[in-house]
Every structure is written in structure tokens, then in C-alpha cells.
């Protein structure tokens, strides 16, 4: 039973799963929830490991739990590296979540000292902080104006010699921007855009503060 549970947990860590439609409409929140799965999963692994080996660690004091934390940190690093071969992207953020989740459980189980348990609580707070900040970013958010720019190899650097179009993006949600290629073709003043030799497609925004957005794909459609 324990072996089957660990295999299932490892599969969840390694392999990609499709988002439900609600997640696609709120990608920032979906990403934060997905990232929270790492500390939760490694917290569960740490709990199972401590149940099996905790009595042995008690004989040696603190070094035993420290060894277990290092072992789980190494296992987390291996799962991140393995994701590169299963359709997912290894990230430092996910590995940090692994370490925080396992560390919170092991520190709490290893000692009743106030300092050690305070460290455990701080690990929990650090693990849930990204989700909390993401949730706080949703209320009061305003639409963001972005510009799509396209130019070919003949582009002379001027504003009128390229394609420019502004779009307004709703806050914290996914959007699909569609552009008719004929509009791109006829956009430069006094000539046609060379669609066979496009040199750049740029999406940018002018904002007073930092702005984070992600371009998932650029496709040509008939």
C-alpha cells in the first residue's frame, strides 16, 4: 500500500495533466495552485518517511531528521530534472516548494523546541505565500493595454514601416489575440510587408510598474 502511494505521488510530480476550463480562464491562479501541490506532496512524503524511520532518528537526535531533509531535497531535485523528459518544465520554484513542504513536516515532528517549531511554521508560511499574493492580486486589477508589433527584413526602423496594433487584456485571465494576415501584409506605409521574411513578432506593454504576462503560442490559421 505504501509503495503504491509513493508511486502515485511520483507520477503526479512527473507527468503533465490538462487544465480544466476554469483553470484556463485564470492561469495565474491555476499556476499558483499547481505550485502549492509541491509542498503538500512532499509534506505527505516526509510524514510517511518519518512514520517509518522516525524512531530510528530518535536514537541519534537532530542529525537523523537533517539527513532525511537532505534526502528529500535530493529526491525533489531528481523529480525536477526528470520532468524535462515527461513534457513538463523543471523549475527552481517547484524545488523550493518541495524543500519547504518536507522541511515543515520534519521540523515539526523532530522537536518540541519553540525555535524549531517556529521554523516549521515559517516554512508553511513561505510555501503558501505565492498563492496568497496571487489571490490578493485578483481584486482591484485593471485591464492592461499591450501592443503587438510585426516587422520584416526590409524594416527601416520607423513606426510607419511595420505592423502595430493595440489590445486590451482583462486582468488575470487568458486571452486569444487574432490578427488578419492581410492587415499585416498591408501595414507598412508605401509598400507591402514581406510575409515570407518576417524578422520579428513582439508583444509589449508600457506600464508604470512591473507587469507579468505570458505568450503561450503564436499560430498561423487558415
Task: Please state the rounded mean pLDDT for residues 171-199.
Answer: 90
The predicted-structure confidence for 136-178, as pLDDT tens digits, reads as follows 766 656 788 899 999 999 999 999 999 999 998 877 677 889 9
Residues 181 and 124 in one domain: no
Considering its fold, how many domains does the chain have in total?
A: 2
Residues 83 and 152 in one domain: no
Residues 168 and 113 in one domain: no
Q: Which of 28-42, 88-102, 145-159 has the highest mean pLDDT?
A: 145-159
- Whether 103 is in a domain gets the answer yes
Residues 43 and 115 in one domain: yes
Task: Please state the rounded mean pLDDT for residues 87-108.
Answer: 88
Residues 31 and 129 in one domain: yes
- Whether 212 is in a domain gets the answer no
Task: Please state the rounded mean pLDDT for residues 191-200.
Answer: 94
The predicted-structure confidence for 52-84, as pLDDT tens digits, reads as follows 877 676 665 556 788 889 989 999 999 888 877
Percent of the chain, pLDDT > 70? 78
- Whether 220 is in a domain gets the answer no
- Whether 210 is in a domain gets the answer no
Q: What pLDDT sits at residue 186? A: 95
Structural domain boundaries enclosing 88: 2-137
Q: What pLDDT sits at residue 63? A: 67
Residues 51 and 119 in one domain: yes
- Whether 213 is in a domain gets the answer no
Which of the pair, 132 or 160, is modelled with greater confidence? 160
Q: What pLDDT sits at residue 143? A: 80
Residues 133 and 199 in one domain: no
Residue 42 exposed, middle or buried by CB count within 10 Å (0-12, 13-18, 19+): buried
Residues 124 and 163 in one domain: no
- Whether 82 is in a domain gets the answer yes
The predicted-structure confidence for 115-128, as pLDDT tens digits, reads as follows 999 999 999 999 99
Which residue intervals of the chain are DSSP H helices?
A: 2-14, 21-25, 27-58, 63-83, 92-110, 114-137, 181-185
> What is the dihedral angle through the alpha carbons of 105, 86, 29, 43, rounded to the nearest 10 degrees?
-10
- Whether 215 is in a domain gets the answer no
Amino acid at each position: 500500500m505504501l509503495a503504491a502511494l509513493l508511486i502515485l505521488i511520483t507520477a503526479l510530480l512527473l507527468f503533465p495533466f490538462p487544465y480544466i476550463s476554469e483553470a484556463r480562464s485564470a492561469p495565474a491562479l491555476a499556476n499558483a495552485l499547481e505550485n502549492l501541490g509541491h509542498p503538500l506532496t512532499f509534506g505527505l512524503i516526509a510524514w510517511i518517511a518519518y512514520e517509518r524511520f522516525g524512531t530510528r532518528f530518535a536514537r541519534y537526535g537532530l542529525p537523523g531528521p537533517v539527513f532525511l531533509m537532505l534526502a528529500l531535497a535530493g529526491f525533489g531535485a531528481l523529480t525536477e530534472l526528470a520532468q524535462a523528459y515527461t513534457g513538463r518544465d523543471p523549475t527552481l520554484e517547484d524545488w523550493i516548494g518541495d524543500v519547504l513542504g518536507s522541511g515543515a513536516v520534519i521540523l515539526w515532528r523532530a522537536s518540541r523546541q519553540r525555535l524549531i517549531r517556529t521554523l516549521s511554521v515559517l516554512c508553511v508560511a513561505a510555501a503558501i505565500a505565492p498563492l496568497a499574493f496571487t489571490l490578493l492580486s485578483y481584486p482591484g486589477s485593471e485591464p492592461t493595454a499591450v501592443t503587438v508589433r510585426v516587422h520584416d527584413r526590409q524594416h527601416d526602423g520607423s513606426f510607419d514601416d511595420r505592423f502595430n496594433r493595440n489590445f486590451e487584456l482583462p486582468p488575470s485571465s487568458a486571452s486569444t489575440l487574432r490578427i488578419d494576415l492581410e492587415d499585416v501584409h498591408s501595414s507598412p506605409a508605401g509598400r507591402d510587408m514581406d510575409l515570407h521574411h518576417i524578422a520579428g513578432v513582439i508583444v509589449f506593454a508600457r506600464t508604470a510598474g512591473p507587469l507579468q504576462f505570458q505568450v503561450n503560442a503564436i499560430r498561423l490559421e487558415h
